[in-house]
Amino acid sequence: MVLITVLTPGINQPLFFLRGAASTYACGVHQNGLLCHLHWGNSIAPNASLAGRLDKDVLAFSPEHRRPQPAVGKSGHDVLSYEYPVANTGDFREPALDILHADGTHGLRLLYSAHRVIAGKPALTGLPATYAETAAEAETLEIDLRDARESSAGGGLIVTLSYTVFAGRDVIVRSTRITNHGTAPVTLTRALSASVDLPGNRFDLLTLPGAWARERWVERGPLRSGTQFTGSRRGASSHQDHPFFALLAPTAGETQGEVRGFSLVYSGNHQGGAEVDQMFNTRALLGIHPDGFTWHLAPGETFQTPEVVLAYSQAGLGGLSAQYHRLYRERLVRGVWRDRERPILINNWEATYFDFTADKLAAIAKSAGAIGVELFVLDDGWFGRRNDDTSSLGDWFTDAAKLPAGLGDVGHRIQAEGLRFGLWFEPEMISTESDLYRAHPDWCLHIPGRARTEGRNQLVLDFSRPEVVDAVYAMVAKILREAPIGYVKWDMNRHLTEVGSASLPAERQGEVFHRHILGVYAFAERLVTEFPEILVEGCSGGGGRYDPGMLYYTPQVWCSDNTDAIARLRIQHGTSIVYPPCTMGAHVSAVPNHQLHRTTPLRTRGHVALAGQFGFELDLIDLDATDLAEAKDLTALAKRTRHLLRSGDHHRLLDPNTGNVAAWMLVAPDQGEAMVTAVLALAEPNWRLQPLRLRGLDPKALYRGVHGPAGEWTGDVLMELGLPLTALKQDFQSCLWHLRRV
Ligand code: DGJ
């Protein structure tokens, strides 16, 4: 990692080069003072003569910039490649920033004013972010741009662009701060985190859209002229639209080709995508969705955007995923659980739903303990008077009718079976049928005079209000202090409507979406600070808030409410584009499956769950002796292989979207061990599956199958000729190999 600034000859303006392991990001100050983009891609050497490349000729119908002396002529606003494009200056493409001034006009013109280089990576106040553990592992460049308006006319804005480059990685982390140094308040009407102007339009856009129970399916298609955006206005990153996209060379595949990724470290509304302009160049942008967003910035105040992680790879989508996996596993997830192997758990949700007693829970724990499970999670239904989903959210005290001896008693009975105890919460929600709602009907998000739209019979608490966050935290923390709890499942089961806050003035109502998420983060920060030993698993009706923002607080996330092994293949495949398998909660559930009514073999359900943090979501008492023995074997296998999940490199081998077999593998960092899984969705008549070619092994090493079909193979044979898939013959069959270097 090196970061160099060179001065442009003649005009003494800086050029900036941020150098990753095998990539370079470069930008520089145009002779007219605008900060322009130069390059993001393969490594190039810092070179002052590249300053000339910042300039672009004027076009017909393009507003002009007169070039200062000594240069002559003009450059076109509408064609320059900007680092952070703004509205109403003659660049008619999608802006990253727009501001409404006190005089009712909008827009700004940003000119370079200063820069500095900081060792390490400064934290973002109130926001989750990637981090550097030492000053030596990252460098941050900050560039100040100032609004060129005269201060007598309301100028005085400074926009600071932040770029962090990490040693040995090909990621650039960008965010933006906007500070009002003027004398009048202004209103931000859009403030995206980052924008990159790339030459040409020959890109495929890859996104991860979905829905409840089918999150993050991969979609890919060529860019067209105009804008192509993905975005959430739901107040959450959501099942439907994911805060990530990639731009791929059309020929790029899983293992080859140039790919650029854009991932937003944020859990609320987002918008991202690309615009292809009239000259067939591409602008990529990502940040908080401008719809429903305004921010009142009084003199002296600063607005901080969330950060975007830009990743670059010439080794295809697999290479891009490897960049994200390593960074998110090592420098986004934090706390003691970052480096610990996670417990094998059993969750009672699909076993009992709301209908349980302490005896029933203890019986499930006993049967789970007998096969080696380490943690029992009591899901929804233990609090208030909650026997279905119509009541009690917000009443975080034990349901005395259901659990008369209290939660502490349940916890101790679970512990007596040799398991740790985990508990479900949904802190951001309130049922109208609750003590909390009766006491504080104005604590939910609402707009006076409008009906309060319910989702799953519940309303959303107004976490933009610190007193609401405090009150809910006090209830949750009391439970965690009193009962022997080692794990929390943090759920969130509806999206935001009637987004208004009873505590904010009119000019700040546009801030509620973002302030709400800041409140969620403040709650999370308190939780992980007071209870550092508790493992927190994120959840939102499955994977509706599986994003880098939440991963900063919750090292693993329940990947989907869809526990069908075959449906999970596409969900887990799409999730792995950005997120390492160690962050993915995956459980074996009962058959017929509760979401799809499909029956698959227990072994296949287990092999698919072993792709993530392994657990069970069923009543083991219902299993026959054969399946129980299989469940015990799977649990033992999960324990033998979970170190691979923690630190191994993940490879997608066969894509369930394009064939009837899905396959993936994890390889230990020293290449001494690997776990390979293949699942056949539907068998075909008179068909022979091709051998499965592996990746990432030591070609010279001899590997022995210590689990799965027996055999010994050299790494080169496994990678060039492949593993035979002859065992896969029937629908829903799977095969898992655990390979060890001999
Ligand atoms: C949705 C979650 O995804 C489920 O796992 C379960 O916790 C239910 N909520 C409980 O209401």
Summarised one tens digit per residue, pLDDT across range 85-139 is 999 989 999 999 999 999 999 999 999 999 999 999 999 999 999 999 999 999 9
| Cβ of 424 below 6 Å from ligand 1 | yes
Instruction: Tell me the CA–centroid distance for residue 382 and ligand 1, in Å.
Output: 13
pLDDT at 637 over 60: yes
Grade residue 76 by pLDDT with cuts at 50, 70 and 90. confident
State residue 71's pLDDT score: 56
- Ligand 1 within 6 A of 493 CB? yes
Cα-to-centroid distance, 354 and ligand 1 (Å): 11
Q: How many residues does the chain have?
A: 742
The confidence band for 155, taking pLDDT boundaries of 50, 70 and 90, is confident
* Cα–Cα dist 573/26, whole Å: 33
Average pLDDT rounded to a whole number, residues 320-337: 98
Angle, helix 466-482 to helix 406-416, in steps of 10 degrees: 50
Our answer on whether the CB atom of 212 is closer than 6 Å to any ligand 1 atom is: no
Catalytic residue among 147, 170, 241, 491: 491
CA 387 to ligand 1 center in whole angstroms: 14
| Token pair in block for residue 223 | 């860019």
Distance 477 CA to ligand 1 centre (A): 21
Furthest C-alpha separation in the chain = 86
> Mean pLDDT, to the nearest integer, of 197-225?
98
Instruction: Give the number of the atom of ligand 1 that is nearest the alpha carbon of residue 489.
Output: 7
Overall average pLDDT of the 446-455 stretch: 97
Q: If you average pLDDT over every residue of the chain, what do you get?
A: 96
Please confirm, yes or no, whether 561 is among the known catalytic residues: yes
How far is the C-alpha of 535 from the C-alpha of 537, rounded, in Å?
A: 7
Is residue 69's pLDDT more than 60? no
**Ligand 1 centroid from CA 209, angstroms:** 21
**What pLDDT shows up at residue 9?**
62
| Ligand 1 proximity of 557 Cβ (cutoff 6 Å) | no
The pLDDT assigned to 133 comes to 97
Which helix (H) or strand (E) segment holds residue 557: the answer is: strand 556-558
Task: Measure the CA dihedral 674/680/684/686, to 10°.
Answer: 30
Q: Are 436 and 460 in contact (CB under 8 A)?
A: no
pLDDT band at 10 (very low <50, low <70, confident <90, very high): low
pTM of the model: 0.97
* Amino acid type, 559: C
Whether 380 is a known active-site residue: answer no
- Find out whether the beta carbon of 654 lies less than 6 Å from any atom of ligand 1: no
Does residue 427 have a cis bond before it (omega within 30 degrees)?
Answer: no
Residue corresponding to tokens 């219902």: 622
Share of the chain above pLDDT 90, in %: 91
CB 731 within 8 A of CB 682: yes
Query: Does the C-beta of 348 come closer than 6 Å to ligand 1?
Result: no
